Chain A
Amino acid sequence: MVDSTMVLKGQTIAYTLYCIVIILLLVWFGLRITKGKSKLIKPAFFYTWMVFLTVLGVSLHIITYNTIPWSPMDLNRGDYVPDKIFKITVEDHKFILPSDKMVINCNDIVLFDVTSNDLTYGFGVFRQDNSMMFQMQVLPGHRNDILWHFNKAGLYTIRSTEYSGPKGTNMIEKDAIEVTGCEELAEQ
């Protein structure tokens, strides 16, 4: 099952490889530009490059939409019936949770419905190793809801992911979510 850890690993590998290639290309260019003779470049190279960039730019989003499981779920979340709904309020730089620990069964699709009563905050869920599972913005006066499919057991921490002044740094609810019943454990 593809989860955010796997997506981030894939992104790390792809971007690192890209960086190595582009740095080597510029190094090669820098070495060769001081030697050789001037040459006319055919416009065909340019048009090929333009087509390549267009295909690359568009295909990235088509690929991620079809491979990252939360993308279609997020854009069409009205079509899903959640297994559980947690209503959370944020006020005066504090998360007000429905219970001390929000317990989720393995493979549940959960809706987090977060309301801000004053400022703009963030709502992020993090694993024990501090890596992020997902986040959203929490705007006052608007519905802020996110669906998530939990498939790894473990304890998860909630943290505000948007700066709301120095007080916002302390908006952490440690181990506020517990997922039970999965064979696979979340990263520790």
Chain B
Amino acid sequence: MFKPINLTPMQKLTLRFVVVGLIYFGFVVVEGMLMRIYEITPVAFIKQTQFFAIMTAHPLVGIFGSTYSLVCGAFLFLVPFLMKKPLYSFKLANRTFILITAGTFIFWAAGFISHYAPMYTLYWPLPADLSQFNPVGGAIFILGIALVMLGTVFFIINVFGTITYTPPGWDKQPAGALLASAIGYSGAENLFRKKENRKEHLVSLPVAAIARGTVDMTFNTLVILFTGVLILVYMVAAILGFDLKETAIDALLYKNWFWWGLDLIADGLVLIFVAGTWYLLATLITGKPLFMQNIARAALLLELVVSWTVWSHHLLSDQAQPGILKVISGEFVTAFELITQGLAFFITLVTLWSARPLKMTNELKFLLGGLLGFALAVPAGIMQADVGLNRILHNTQWVVGPHVHVAVLIGLTMTLYAAVYLLFPILTNGAKLYSQKLANIHFWCHLVGGIGMGAFMGMAGLQGMLRRSLYVEGEFKIYMILAGICGGLILIGFLAFFLNIVMSVGLQGVIGIFRPSKLDPKVLLPAQ
């Protein structure tokens, strides 16, 4: 029986992140379905401007409201859990929760109310056309994003603080050595040492993965904050009656800058965090050490370097972009993601295989789903990151279908669901899942729906259907209907999951999660 009164503040905070993350995932699924319906036939109750406003907010609510909430919640719990020491600052963690929750709501509402929709999905174009959008709505939108970024800064401080600090009453911790282990320096050194001379890792591999993903998160946050300020200058100028659209900012330079920063989410942070979560899940499910652990650490370090130099694959169709950047950064460095993610895929599968026979638990099932998602989505991305193929794939539904949606919905989200199923009994002091049938419905609907939606979008893309565009003469209707049916399956899966969680903890339990805990915030789990 779930009793929220027995939860520690850290358990409650993590559960709050999970609840908010799931609510925002619900937003994303409903918005996605509204857009699917509109792509099939432009229904009267949605205006065209509203459609594009939803399209602008949709990926941001998904990434910041849902994924960041789940990731921050899980990692703020897991880093102290795995390091066996209290979190650096519970107050900062609480602020991260409030800022991400409120910031997401603000930018979502700004889009919903003001129809602010200038984005090329995640790419904020400059020069901007403010004649189509309300600059006040835009300024509020940017404010929401800035709050999320501030919450992210607090998360970053907390992760590195927890790894390196010395809790009161403890012996002095070797902060420098811990940091070197966390970012992979000592792991890389071990590769060049004889077996008997190798140093012990001070930080476990999942914590190292979290730390390395957090390095990318730092750069990404700085780029988005800076860009937000830059866009805000345009908004404020427009509000004051000045149009800056023909001035100072070079469109190509800006595009390079923005994609460099944004790709640190897509190609660095996601792949590194996901690989780290796979390793954690594989070791917790099997109870065995990770296969080829030193190589896995080195691959994470390599991925960090790759993620800093990979951005140019977004500019393969920009003719002014230097050819050398297209070939080296856009094609060949990007191909390294096939290698780093392929190695993480292999290491995880072999670690699981080495512990046969395993029980097919929910976490194992969803982990396999997550592995499949990236196995499908990464090669789709590598194909479009080719000078020749990009000429006929760029900005088509191929990019958002088999690559983005399959990577995010199947690869990333199913990995996060695996973590949620694994952490659920730990965070709830042993609460039982209400229904295994509902968990199975969740799994199959999400898996089939996500892959199916990506596949039908991809088929439309290969036949010329653009993303962020509307086809009012029914040119690709059959694919959009099939993608819509698959989207419906995802919605059913989500409702099954949500119902299962609510029934497991009870409505009173959900409310209890949001009530303050009387236990010590330094204690991670209650004494048994």
Contact = CB atoms under 8 A, between A and B. Distances in A.
Interface of A: 4, 7-8, 11-12, 15, 18-19, 22-23, 26, 29-30, 32-41, 43, 45-46, 49-50, 53-54, 56-58, 60-61, 64-65, 68, 70-71, 74-75, 118-120, 122, 124, 126-127, 129-137, 139-146, 159, 161-169
A61 B120 CA distance: 27
A132 B128 CA distance: 27
A49 B343 contact: yes
B178 interface: no
B388 A70 contact: yes
Counting from the closest, the 5 A-B pairs by CB-CB distance are A57-B335, A68-B388, A71-B388, A142-B320, A163-B468
Nearest to B358: A33
Given A11-B462, A33-B352, A46-B350, 12 more contacts: A11-B383, A22-B372, A26-B375, A30-B360, A37-B356, A46-B347, A53-B343, A64-B388, A136-B317, A161-B395, A166-B49, A167-B132
B251 A141 contact: yes
B291 interface: yes
Nearest to A19: B376
Interface stretch (B30-38, B152-160, B469-477, B511-519): B469-477
B4 to A, nearest CB: 35
Given A46-B291, A56-B338, A74 B354 contact: no
Given A18-B379, A56-B338, A165-B118, A140 B357 contact: no
A29 B367 CA distance: 12
A166 B470 CA distance: 9
Contact of B387 (A18, A58, A65): A65
B503 interface: no
Given A32-B356, A60-B382, A143-B319, A119 B395 contact: no
B129 interface: yes
22 contacts: A7-B388, A15-B383, A19-B376, A29-B349, A33-B353, A33-B356, A33-B360, A41-B350, A43-B292, A46-B291, A46-B295, A53-B343, A54-B339, A57-B332, A75-B327, A120-B127, A132-B392, A139-B251, A144-B320, A162-B395, A165-B132, A169-B470
B140 interface: no
B394 interface: yes
B388 to A, nearest CB: 4
A113 B243 CA distance: 27
**Residue of B121, B382, B395, B470 with highest tally of chain A CB at under 10 A:** B395
A57 to B, nearest CB: 3
Given A15-B379, A50-B339, A136 B118 contact: no
B368 A29 contact: yes
Interface string B387-408: 1110110111000001000000
Nearest to A37: B356
Contact of A39 (B354, B359, B465): B354
Interface of B: 48-49, 51-52, 117-121, 125, 127-129, 132-133, 245-246, 250-252, 255, 291-292, 295, 315, 317-320, 323, 326-327, 331-332, 335-336, 338-339, 342-343, 346-347, 349-350, 352-360, 364-365, 368, 371-372, 375-376, 379-380, 382-383, 386-389, 391-392, 394-396, 402, 455, 459, 462-470, 475-476
A169 B469 contact: yes
A54 B49 CA distance: 45
B392 A8 contact: yes
A38 B356 contact: yes
A162 B314 CA distance: 13
Nearest to B288: A38
A49 B346 contact: yes
A148 B251 CA distance: 25
Contacts of B129: 118-119, 164-165
A132 B391 CA distance: 9
Contact of B133 (A65, A129, A142, A165): A165
A39 B353 contact: yes
Contacts of A36: 356-357
Contacts of A168: 469
A168 B391 CA distance: 20
Contact of B120 (A18, A127, A162): A162
B245 to A, nearest CB: 7
B49 A37 contact: no
A68 B133 CA distance: 41
Contacts of A162: 120, 395
A40 B395 contact: no
A100 B120 CA distance: 30
A39 B365 CA distance: 21
A60 B359 CA distance: 39
B103 to A, nearest CB: 24
A39 B338 contact: no
